Amino acid sequence: MHTAVNLWPLLGIAVVVAGFLLRAHPVLVVVAACGVTGAAAAMAPLQLLETLGSAFVKTRNLPLILLLPLAAIGLLERFGLKEYAQARIARVRSATAGRLLTVYLLARETAAAFGLTSLGGHPNMVRPLVAPMAEAAAEAAARQRGGRLDEAQRLRIRAMSAATDNVGLFFGEDIFVAFGAIVLMQTILRAEGIEVDPLHMALWGIPTAVTAFVVHAWNLRRLDARLRREMAR
């Protein structure tokens, strides 16, 4: 016989969605979602408070782990990391925003393929280094043509820098055999009676990663061409 599954605890997901749509405080949203889920699951109030307390104790060091790297990056940027990176890349006459981001895309995707997903990211790599260097390369190319970048062009370069990091990470980590998504797919397929080798699944991610690299590298090439056209005008 099939036992009935209580779906009412899923109301907590609706509370999270509604809270973020209303731009409520994240902590209040999470606590409210926990309360609704616990009430729907018929948890006793003391048991619910005990569960919340245990979860808090287990994760209380997580904000410290996340904030310490940001503080270090902030100090480096305060003492001239951004200006130094811009000055160094401006000396390379052949550098352009598209070429620089293509090199970063290759490095990011290759590192993610070996499981090194932390060697990059928006706050610790794109914001302090990659985006300023791409802007400096584009600015140097613009000065050679007697022009300068406007605000819209700078924002476009920053957006493309963030997109490059996303593409490199997303498609590169699919090649890593111990990636969580591959383990999840193997577990689901095994539950359905289908045995699949994780290494075989990871190898099938290589064509997709190569295609993503080619497509995004072409988009970066188009970025350089668009900047040249705008400078010519």
Q: How many helices (H) and strands (E) does the chain have?
A: 11, 0
Q: How confident is the model at residue 185 (pLDDT cuts 50, 70, 90)?
A: confident
pLDDT tens track for 190-227: 877 888 887 788 788 889 999 999 999 999 999 999 98
Report the C-alpha gap between 217 and 233 in whole angstroms.
25
> What's CA 46's distance to the chain center, in Å?
38
pLDDT tens track for 72-125: 666 766 777 667 677 777 677 778 889 999 999 999 999 988 888 888 888 888
Any idea where the domains of the chain sit in the sequence? 8-60, 81-232
In the chain, the largest separation of any two C-alpha atoms, in whole Å, equals 78
% of the chain at pLDDT higher than 90 = 21
Rounded to two decimals, the pTM is 0.68
What's the length of the chain? 233
104 against 8, higher pLDDT: 104
- Tokens 């993503």 correspond to 212
